């Protein structure tokens, strides 16, 4: 059977080809795409675009979907076929990509901004982890407040997960630029 070939946006290809970029959500891929692509796209439009591309890759058998249909915890992972596929990279697929994407070199100013965002996100992550740990300690001390503390704990954990995704995306972009 011949290896499948598929046209793909250059930025999406770069992100998906990263070895450690697997088991991702649509939002994680969108955030990484927006950071890397330097687009003028709104996050909602970028999410729709990324979702359409993920669906295309699922239909070709290159990505596998894990999670129930209406769940917010759906993740996608690369199939064996993904590693065998031939990707035909296209420079710009999204219509709102700015001219900045044609420049392959990222400026030192942009790298500094990314590093600053990374530091801020790491501090926010530590804060969020500390918050969730404190909710657990409060629950142990005050079990009668279980309902309120449990919902606060879950919100803090969700925030931690989002921040971790943000950190991974920024680190991925920085490591890609330093190659």
Tens-place pLDDT, residues 113-125: 888 999 999 999 9
Instruction: Tell me the two tokens of residue 62.
Output: 């290159």
- If pLDDT is split at 50, 70 and 90, which confidence band does 97 have? very low
Tell which of 85, 102, 119 closes a domain.
Answer: 102
Conformational region of residue 72, where left means phi above 0, alpha means psi within -120 to 50, and beta covers everything else: alpha
Q: Exposed, middle or buried, 101 (CB in 10 Å: 0-12/13-18/19+)?
A: middle
At residue 173, the pLDDT reads 87
Q: Are residues 93 and 122 in the same domain?
A: no
Q: Answer yes or no: is pLDDT of 25 > 50.
A: yes
Q: State pTM to two decimals.
A: 0.49
DSSP count for the chain of H helices, then E strands:
6, 4
- 121 and 96 in a common domain: no
The CA angle 166-65-150, to the nearest 5 degrees, is 55
CATH number at residue 169: 1.20.58
Measure the CA–CA gap between 16 and 83, rounded to whole angstroms: 11
> Is residue 60 located within the same domain as residue 130?
no
Using CA atoms, how far apart are residues 72 and 1, in angstroms rounded to an integer?
36
Residue 147 tokens, joined: 């309902």
Domain stops at, among 81, 102, 123:
102
**Of the candidate ranges 38-42, 73-77, 120-124, 149-153, the one whose mean pLDDT is the lowest:** 38-42
3-state helix, strand, coil in the chain (%, to 5): 65, 10, 25
Domain span at residue 165 reads: 108-177
What is the reported pLDDT for 130? 93
Residues 169 and 140 occupy one common structural domain = yes
Residues 21 and 95 grouped into a single domain: yes
Question: In the chain, how many domains are there?
Answer: 2
Q: Retrieve residue 112's tokens.
A: 């500094």
- Based on the domain organization, do 119 and 96 belong to the same domain? no
Of 70, 102, 134, the position where a domain reaches its end is 102
What's the CATH number where 76 sits? 1.10.10.10
Which contiguous run of DSSP H or E holds residue 42? none
What mean pLDDT is reported for the chain? 82
pLDDT band at 93 (very low <50, low <70, confident <90, very high): very low
Residues 95 and 24 in one domain: yes
Digit-coded pLDDT (tens) for 130-154: 999 999 999 999 999 989 998 899 9
Q: Are residues 91 and 17 in the same domain?
A: yes
Q: Which of 9-13, 40-44, 102-106, 138-142 has the highest mean pLDDT?
A: 138-142
Q: Residue 23: helix, strand or coil by DSSP?
A: coil
Average pLDDT over residues 81-86: 87
CA angle 61, 66, 68 (to 5 degrees): 120
| Percent of residues, the chain, with pLDDT higher than 70 | 84
């Amino acid at each position: 059977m011949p290896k499948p070939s598929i046209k793909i946006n250059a930025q999406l290809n770069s992100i998906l080809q990263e070895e450690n970029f697997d088991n991702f959500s649509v939002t994680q891929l969108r955030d990484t795409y927006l950071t890397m692509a330097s687009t003028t796209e709104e996050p909602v439009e970028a999410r729709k675009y990324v979702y359409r591309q993920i669906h295309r890759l699922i239909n070709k058998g290159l990505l596998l979907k894990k999670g129930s249909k209406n769940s917010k915890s759906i993740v996608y992972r690369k199939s064996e076929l993904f590693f065998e596929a031939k990707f035909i990279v296209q420079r710009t697929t999204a219509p709102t990509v700015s001219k900045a994407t044609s420049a392959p070199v990222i400026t030192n100013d942009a790298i500094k901004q990314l590093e600053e965002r990374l530091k801020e996100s790491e501090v926010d992550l530590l804060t969020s982890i500390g918050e969730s740990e404190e909710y657990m300690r409060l629950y142990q001390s005050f079990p009668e407040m279980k309902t309120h503390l449990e919902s606060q704990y879950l919100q803090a954990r969700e925030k931690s997960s989002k921040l971790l995704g943000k950190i991974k995306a920024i680190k991925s972009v920085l490591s890609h630029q330093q190659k």
